[in-house]
Every structure is written in structure tokens, then in C-alpha cells.
Amino acid sequence: MNIKGYHARYYTESNFYMGVKHSKLWMLDGNTMVTSDYGLIIPWLLRASTFQDNHSHVTDRSTSINLGVVHGINLNLINPISSNGHTYYYLDSSGDGSSYGYDPISHENLDDLLNEGRDTVATQEGSHDGSDDERSVILEGYTLILPTILELRALSTDIETNNTEALGYYASQWNPSHYWSATEGTWSSSNFWGDNKHQYLHMDYNDKHEFSDEVRNWVVFEVLKSP
């Protein structure tokens, strides 16, 4: 992997730093495996680090993350999917370990979790830096980020092109339905929605809609793990 001005740093599951290599990597320990002469490996954790050793946030590879109940939401995150340089987890709010249970929540719940009850806002479009802003929250070293509508559309397109088995009703899949975004709605009505509305995406068809925050939809979070 070539990133100008960056090293690739490899870590064990316990977050022990194993070293930096340049053009060709070899077996550093049992958790790091060389797969080709070009230095392609499959690490447990990968960080981008500048030459001054300033680390980025970690892309977590855990198959599930349970952060307990926060603001009334059971934050059981399962079935990670990597897409366009991001890792997204399905919110299993029912806690049954699959996408088959009833997992939708209102955007009001998300506003409470991510922005102290205020409407979430589409910040840092396309590449979130892991900070606690108007669409994210940091819990136990994890940053949970609600995708914008553009990020959800890019995710849906990537799934349709490269990961068609990701959507469905098996335990290891995501429910092929409507997913909330952090992007506010644009259609206004003084008699119906007022200000509290957000856009959502039908993941299977990649078409966007918007509705009142009281409506329940499914949720995925981009997840980063702090160094």
C-alpha cells in the first residue's frame, strides 16, 4: 500500500505495536501473514502513521462490538462491511445477534445519542476524522459515526457492485431496507414535519427519501477505534 508521507504500522489484537516495514514485509509474529512478494499482508489492525509517528484512528476488525445501552439504544454492532475505505457496522438494537429481529429506531433517538438531542448534521462529508461532532459519539474508545446520505449511497452502490450477498435476512447479512442518514431533510411543511426531519436510504434500491424524525428506520454506523 502506498500512501504518500505515511508508513503502514501493524498491530496485534492486543494493540501491541510490532514495527514498520517499507517495500517488503515478512512474518513479524503469528498475527501477521505475508501473502505475496509485494508485501501484501493481512493484519489484525492497520494504522496510517506519519513520519513523525502521529497515528491515525484504527480500522477495527472485530466481528461485533457491544457498547451496552446508551440513551435508550442497545448498541450491539454486528456484521461489519468494509467499503470505500470505511468500515460500517449494522445496529442490532434488538440484541438478537442478527438482522432478522426488529432493529429500527427513530432519528430522535439518534439525535439524543449523537448530538445531545439536537438534529444531526452532515459534517466532514466523505472522510470523518474521528472527532466527536454533530453526527458522531465516542464511547469506550470507539467513534460511532452516522453516515451522510451521500456516504450511504456510495455504500449501497459498492454493495450492489462488489458485495451482493451482504443484504438479506440471514444472521450474517444486513436487512435490505431503509437506513437513516445524518443529512437533514430539504422539504418543508409548517403543518406536518416542521424542522425535525432527516433523509434516509433504501439500501437495496439506493433511492433516498426523507421523513419525520419520529419514524423508525434501520441504522449502520461507521466505526473507528481510537489508538
Closest to 58 measured CA to CA, from 78, 28, 86: 86
Parent domain of 165: 64-225
In a domain, 56, yes or no: no
In this structure, the answer to whether residues 108 and 195 fall within a common structural domain is: yes
In this structure, the answer to whether residues 165 and 215 fall within a common structural domain is: yes
Query: Which residues, 6+ apart, have CB-to-CB distance to 213 below 8 Å?
Result: 106, 107, 108, 111, 119, 196, 197, 198
Residue 168 sits at the vertex; the CA angle it makes with 78 and 224, to the nearest 5 degrees, is: 25
- Say if pTM beats, i.e. exceeds, 0.75: no
* CA–CA dist 173, 139 (Å, integer): 25
Q: Under a CB-based contact definition with an 8 Å cutoff, are residues 152 and 199 in contact?
A: no
In a domain, 57, yes or no: no
In a domain, 59, yes or no: no
What tens-digit pLDDT sequence spans the chain (227 residues)?
A: 333 343 444 443 433 333 333 333 333 333 433 333 333 333 334 444 333 333 344 455 578 999 999 999 999 999 999 999 999 999 999 999 998 889 999 999 999 999 999 999 988 876 788 889 999 999 999 999 999 999 999 999 999 999 999 999 888 899 999 999 999 988 655 545 455 789 999 999 988 999 899 999 999 999 998 76
In a domain, 58, yes or no: no
In this structure, the answer to whether residues 110 and 192 fall within a common structural domain is: yes
In a domain, 182, yes or no: yes
In this structure, the answer to whether residues 46 and 95 fall within a common structural domain is: no
For the chain, the residue count is 227
In a domain, 80, yes or no: yes
Q: Under a CB-based contact definition with an 8 Å cutoff, are residues 114 and 123 in contact?
A: no
In a domain, 183, yes or no: yes
In this structure, the answer to whether residues 36 and 68 fall within a common structural domain is: no
* CA–CA dist 219, 175 (Å, integer): 10
* CA–CA dist 192, 208 (Å, integer): 19
Q: How many domains does the chain have?
A: 2
